[in-house]
Chains A and B, each alone.
Chain A
Amino acid sequence: MNPNFFSLRIAEIQPEIKGKATSVIFDLPANLAETFRWQAGQHVTLRFHLNGTEQRRSYTISNPPGAPLRITVKRVVDGMVSNHIGDHLKPGDMIDVMPPFGQFSLSPDALNRRTHYFFGAGSGITPLFAMINAVLEEEPHSVAHLIYGNIDDGSIIFHNELGKLTAEHGSRFTVRHVLSAPSMWRSISPWRKGRVDAGLIKDAIAETPPVAQDVQYWVCGPGTMNADVKDALMALDAPASRIHMESFGGGEVAAPSVIGVAAKAKVELDGAVHDVSVAENETLLNAVLSAGLAPPFSCQSGVCGACKARLTNGQVHMRARMALEDSDIARGEILSCQSVAASDELSISFDK
């Protein structure tokens, strides 16, 4: 990437969702076309000097490669830069822009034949919109399915553009709107009400299962949405290598810790309770075995479920959980051979 700023002229300002977001289109002089060549999903950094301080912000390019360089900025309440962009920028202004970069990108290939599932919420649509366009234009044998969460129909960025893409690409593009708080007088009937959660993701995939078997999942939303969608996909055995994501609006989501902490455990087995110390990164099963107890176990791979226990206090992290259904986990069941401690005190029971 090129770490320098270049001064670009604003060609056009376009309010979106009644002014709650703003699209900014830049003029790209021919001599900068190569420097600013981007892949769908990448972002640019803008630099402003506001109230005597330098402010930098990264915004996703919301157009596919080949189209005009455009960013779409959603207003953040009291946000210094997003409101400056929405209130004060006008065509002809010169803005400092750093060339595109970012790992969250989709490179279309005319000979690829893929099924792309896009899960987005709010302004997370911006990279996905660029990617969807890139797939529809540059990857003719591939299809795209978008599941898009918003609060209500008035907050759907690119609502009309998405409708237009559906009309133009019928069999190759579907969009399903999910609204968490649809207004009484809504103009559209969403596919679902609520949030883009595990049950909804499972239904969406079953409704439009992949035809092309090279399947890729692209996730971009605020807060914990990315981690939630990834968990939901992995609960369906979608491999992590096919899940691509970028966090939006809520900062980075901490990756779940996979290193177990040292802990004191109370272990109920055959009607008696034992105090067992668990070493850092040791599985609960090994700790119980080291203490001279004889819990049930078999495969030690998370497959058979023989070492199942119930967690009654504290937290664990499971490295694999094939033998458990989501409903088992909701009841507190764990696989002791796959669990490391995530809290320094915990209680488990092997008894029914």
Chain B
Amino acid sequence: MTRMYHHLPVDAYTSQDWFDREQRLIFSRTWRYAGLAEDVPEPGHFISVQAGLNNIFIVMGRDHRLRAFHNICRHRGTQLIRAVGKTQKALTCPYHDWTYDLEGNLISVPDEAKEYPNGIDKSCLGLKPASVDIWRGMLFVHPDPNPPSLADWFGAVDPLLGPHKPEELVEYPDARRSYEIKANWKIVVENYIDVYHLSHLHSNTLHMYDHAWAEYGWKGLHYHFWEPPAPEYAKNLEKNLPTPRAIPEPHIGAWVPMLFPGIGLGAGEDSWNIFIITPLGPDLTRVENRTKLANASGWEFQKQEWSSWSFWKDFGGPKYPDGDATGEDDPMASGDFTAEDIYACEQQQKSLTSPYFEVGPAANGESPVVGHQKAILGFLETQETGS
């Protein structure tokens, strides 16, 4: 009998087959996060991104419009461009110097008359176009040149994502990091949207927000979540914010949605963060974090740090006090909610291969976990039946 993990078979979290199927049907057929808009700041700049099975690059033309193409030379398939860079007007494959203009047209084949004495129809050998768009200050790519628009894809959930204007905020480079979690990507998503665990795993790290008043739900495939500041924190909120406000008053609370597939956002009164989940293998997942803060002076940041110091100096701490921790590097003693989450995900993944694994009943606060499983099943079904 298939062992189940709520709505999905346990296999969905451990097998190469499921991983391949999700890569093909989910991550290669949807809009993928590709970076922040400022990663391609000027005409001629380009970046490439792996989006499921597709490697797609984005380049800005002199008209300031972004173009996206599959990063495959039409000659022998060589990846045309490397991770990031800058060009003038053309893209040349390093292998045989086939050259394309920024519209993807093949414009030059060296020694054309000698190498192709019967002629070569360059007009049929342009780069394969993909799509790119900017939404909430983020770059998104889609492998199809005519995909449903981002207005179509994110439109319904957009009003529930908070009043932030990421394009007006400034990246805080020290917070940028990328790390791997030894767990299936769905375990990482489910942990992100599990409301039940907030008060327990993070009993001593995220209690500035009031999980009892969280409002959450689904708009199609996308999950939305908002919760208010806890009374202690809210009492002197403007004083207690660690950095200057990133959204105007009177907006308060934390918006922590999970957009499909694996695009987490986390935004509060004073910051806007992304949490991009990329599957690397059945039991290995990469997470990329970036943070944006208010576009305020160093002096404003200094003043806010001083004013909030008295709230934060005694705030939080390890989940387990010294005596219960296994050592200094025990994540349960870190006082860092990310370390707590990584630990929980990896400990969970370890059990999935045990013949004795059996999942317990889902709690009310775990309804998003079950909801995500249904979203996966539903999306795979529509992709496979083509409906």
Contact residues of A with B, CB < 8 Å?
110-113, 140-141, 205-206, 209-215, 233, 236-239, 299-304, 320, 322
Q: Which label, helix, strand, loop or mixed, suits the secondary structure of the B interface?
A: mixed
Contact residues of B with A, CB < 8 Å?
37, 61-66, 89-90, 99, 101-103, 107-108, 110, 112, 131-134, 148-152, 155, 167
Are A205 and B108 interface neighbours, CB within 8 A? no
Residue of A nearest to B92 (CB): A303
**Which 4 pairs show the lowest CB-CB distances between chains A and B?**
A141-B151, A209-B64, A301-B108, A236-B63
Alpha-carbon separation in the docked complex, A320 to B150 (Å): 34
Q: How far is the CB of A224 from chain B (nearest CB, A)?
A: 21
Are B103 and A237 interface neighbours, CB within 8 A? yes
Are B66 and A213 interface neighbours, CB within 8 A? yes
Are B151 and A303 interface neighbours, CB within 8 A? no
Are A322 and B101 interface neighbours, CB within 8 A? yes
Q: Which residues of A contact B107 (CB under 8 A)?
A: 299, 301-303, 320, 322
Complex partner residue of A236 from B62, B108, B131, B149, CB under 8 angstroms: B62
- Beyond A111-B155, A237-B103, whether A303 also contacts B90 by CB under 8 A is yes
* Beyond A213-B65, A213-B131, A213-B133, 17 additional pairs, beta carbon < 8 A: A111-B149, A113-B133, A113-B150, A141-B150, A211-B37, A212-B134, A213-B66, A214-B149, A233-B63, A236-B61, A237-B63, A238-B61, A238-B65, A299-B99, A299-B110, A302-B107, A303-B90
Q: Which residues of B contact A302 (CB under 8 A)?
A: 107
Q: Which residues of B contact A141 (CB under 8 A)?
A: 149-151, 155
Q: How far is the CB of B134 from chain A (nearest CB, A)?
A: 5
- Beyond A111-B155, A237-B102, A302-B107, whether A210 also contacts B149 by CB under 8 A is no
Q: Which residues of A contact B112 (CB under 8 A)?
A: 300
Q: Which residues of A contact B90 (CB under 8 A)?
A: 303, 322
Q: How far is the CB of B144 from chain A (nearest CB, A)?
A: 14
Residue of B nearest to A234 (CB): B63
- Beyond A111-B155, A299-B110, A301-B108, whether A205 also contacts B64 by CB under 8 A is yes
Residue of A nearest to B140 (CB): A213
Give the number of residue pairs across the A-B interface with Cβ within 8 Å: 75
A-B contacts, 25 of them at CB < 8 A, read A111-B148, A111-B155, A112-B149, A113-B133, A113-B149, A141-B149, A141-B155, A205-B63, A205-B64, A210-B66, A211-B167, A212-B133, A215-B63, A215-B65, A237-B89, A237-B103, A238-B61, A238-B63, A299-B108, A299-B110, A303-B90, A303-B101, A303-B108, A322-B89, A322-B90
Alpha-carbon separation in the docked complex, A302 to B149 (Å): 35
Alpha-carbon separation in the docked complex, A205 to B64 (Å): 7
Q: Which residues of B contact A237 (CB under 8 A)?
A: 61-63, 89, 101-103
Alpha-carbon separation in the docked complex, A69 to B99 (Å): 51
Q: How far is the CB of A209 from chain B (nearest CB, A)?
A: 4
Are A210 and B64 interface neighbours, CB within 8 A? yes
Q: Which residues of B contact A214 (CB under 8 A)?
A: 133, 149
Are B133 and A111 interface neighbours, CB within 8 A? no
Q: Which residues of B contact A233 (CB under 8 A)?
A: 63
Residue of A nearest to B65 (CB): A215
Alpha-carbon separation in the docked complex, A155 to B235 (Å): 58
Are A111 and B63 interface neighbours, CB within 8 A? no
Alpha-carbon separation in the docked complex, A304 to B63 (Å): 21
Q: Which label, helix, strand, loop or mixed, suits the secondary structure of the A interface?
A: loop
Residue of A nearest to B41 (CB): A209
Q: Which residues of B contact A301 (CB under 8 A)?
A: 99, 107-108
Are A213 and B132 interface neighbours, CB within 8 A? yes
Q: How far is the CB of A136 from chain B (nearest CB, A)?
A: 15
Alpha-carbon separation in the docked complex, A212 to B37 (Å): 11
Are B64 and A239 interface neighbours, CB within 8 A? no
Q: Which residues of B contact A212 (CB under 8 A)?
A: 133-134
- Beyond A214-B133, A303-B108, A322-B89, whether A206 also contacts B64 by CB under 8 A is yes
Are B65 and A210 interface neighbours, CB within 8 A? yes
Q: Which residues of A contact B108 (CB under 8 A)?
A: 299-301, 303-304
Residue of B nearest to A208 (CB): B64
Alpha-carbon separation in the docked complex, A193 to B107 (Å): 39
Are B103 and A111 interface neighbours, CB within 8 A? no
Residue of B nearest to A111 (CB): B152
Q: Which residues of A contact B149 (CB under 8 A)?
A: 111-113, 141, 214
Between B112, B132, B151, B152, the greatest number of chain A beta carbons within 10 A of the residue's beta carbon is seen for B151
Q: Which residues of A contact B66 (CB under 8 A)?
A: 210, 213
Q: Which residues of A contact B89 (CB under 8 A)?
A: 237, 322
Are A211 and B65 interface neighbours, CB within 8 A? no
Alpha-carbon separation in the docked complex, A302 to B108 (Å): 8
Residue of B nearest to A241 (CB): B103
Alpha-carbon separation in the docked complex, A304 to B152 (Å): 42
Residue of B nearest to A238 (CB): B63
Alpha-carbon separation in the docked complex, A113 to B149 (Å): 7
Q: Which residues of A contact B148 (CB under 8 A)?
A: 111
Alpha-carbon separation in the docked complex, A237 to B64 (Å): 10
Between B63, B64, B107, B134, the greatest number of chain A beta carbons within 10 A of the residue's beta carbon is seen for B63
Alpha-carbon separation in the docked complex, A147 to B148 (Å): 30
Alpha-carbon separation in the docked complex, A113 to B155 (Å): 10
Q: Which residues of A contact B132 (CB under 8 A)?
A: 213
Are A213 and B134 interface neighbours, CB within 8 A? yes
Alpha-carbon separation in the docked complex, A211 to B89 (Å): 21
Alpha-carbon separation in the docked complex, A258 to B219 (Å): 53
Alpha-carbon separation in the docked complex, A113 to B134 (Å): 10
Q: How far is the CB of A90 from chain B (nearest CB, A)?
A: 45
Q: Which residues of B contact A320 (CB under 8 A)?
A: 107
Q: How far is the CB of A184 from chain B (nearest CB, A)?
A: 36
Q: How far is the CB of B292 from chain A (nearest CB, A)?
A: 16
Q: Which residues of B contact A215 (CB under 8 A)?
A: 63, 65
Residue of A nearest to B122 (CB): A301
Alpha-carbon separation in the docked complex, A205 to B42 (Å): 12
Residue of A nearest to B97 (CB): A299
Alpha-carbon separation in the docked complex, A215 to B64 (Å): 10
Q: How far is the CB of A93 from chain B (nearest CB, A)?
A: 44
Q: How far is the CB of A292 from chain B (nearest CB, A)?
A: 17
Q: Which residues of B contact A213 (CB under 8 A)?
A: 65-66, 131-134
Alpha-carbon separation in the docked complex, A239 to B102 (Å): 10
Alpha-carbon separation in the docked complex, A238 to B103 (Å): 9
Q: Which residues of A contact B133 (CB under 8 A)?
A: 113, 212-214
Q: Which residues of A contact B65 (CB under 8 A)?
A: 210, 213, 215, 238
Alpha-carbon separation in the docked complex, A208 to B148 (Å): 25
